[in-house]
Amino acid sequence: MRLPLFQGVSTDGITQLVEKYPFHFLKYRNGEQIVAVGDTCTHIRFIVSGKVRLEMPFSHLRVSLSQTLSTPNVLAPEYLFGRETVYPYTVTADGACGVLQLLKSDYIKMINGDKVFLFNILNYLSSGSQRGVSSALSISDGSVIERLAILLDMLTIPGAENIILRYKQKDLCTLLSTQRTTLVASLDKLRDQEILDYDSNELQLLDFKKLMDFIME
């Protein structure tokens, strides 16, 4: 009942759903792959125990973003529908974890059968799209720090932990449309404020809220 998209459903309602639809509870060992980049999103999947690690590569650039999601959470429900219906990231178990999955067609039947599920998925999808727009509209000076903040805000899932961006410096400069000296100066500034730590190939976000302050002021 704490899972996203199930909130507001009664205990009796959950019991009836479990009896009516084939819910699958799967267990994974540390490091075991749950989904891969490019897999078709045929099920809706929830993290019901433990944690998972998401790794998202950028096409044609030597850049990737990884983040950790904990219980309770949902994996990419926005890719159940629309033009793109494949996972943009690989998901692996970060320690032992449990996943609840339900076939897309059964989930659609649930949405059609109960407005609570319909409102939950609509609110989830709307919140995600509005978040990206709000970040983009908050740009003030278009600095490298703002562009980095928007990039991480758009690609991280709310509540994610251990956010790491791995890169070749040349490709990160291309992604952020900046020169190497400007990039390094910006990262140094953020490190001095204990917002992130970095080296020549990786940065780790230490304080997501402080980074977002650069575009929300």
Predicted confidence at residue 10, as pLDDT, reads 81
Predicted confidence at residue 213, as pLDDT, reads 87
Domain boundaries, the chain: 11-129, 138-216
The first and second tokens of residue 116, run together, are 């609570």
Residues 78-118 have pLDDT tens digits of 999 989 999 999 999 999 999 999 999 999 998 888 888 89
For 31, counting Cβ atoms within 10 Å of its Cβ (0-12 exposed, 13-18 middle, 19+ buried), the class is: exposed
The CATH number that domain 11-129 falls under is 2.60.120.10
Q: Is the pLDDT of residue 139 over 70?
A: no
Confidence of residue 14 (pLDDT cuts 50, 70, 90): confident
Confidence of residue 217 (pLDDT cuts 50, 70, 90): low
Predicted confidence at residue 41, as pLDDT, reads 96
Could you tell me the pTM of the whole model? 0.88
DSSP-based three-state secondary structure for 160: coil
Angle, CA of 192, 213 and 124, to the nearest 5°: 130
Predicted confidence at residue 140, as pLDDT, reads 63
Please count the other Cβ atoms lying within 10 Å of the Cβ belonging to residue 3: 17
Residues 37-84 have pLDDT tens digits of 999 999 999 999 999 999 999 988 999 999 999 999 999 999 999 899
How far is residue 70's CA from residue 76's CA, in Å, rounded to a whole number? Answer: 14
Share of residues in the chain with pLDDT > 70 (%): 96
Mean pLDDT across 140-151: 86
Mean pLDDT of all residues in the chain? 91
Bigger pLDDT: 188 vs 6: 188
Mean pLDDT across 117-144: 80
Predicted confidence at residue 191, as pLDDT, reads 97
**What one-character DSSP code corresponds to residue 86?**
B
How far is residue 173's CA from residue 125's CA, in Å, rounded to a whole number? Answer: 31
Assigned fold of 138-216: Arc Repressor Mutant, subunit A (1.10.10)
Confidence of residue 136 (pLDDT cuts 50, 70, 90): low
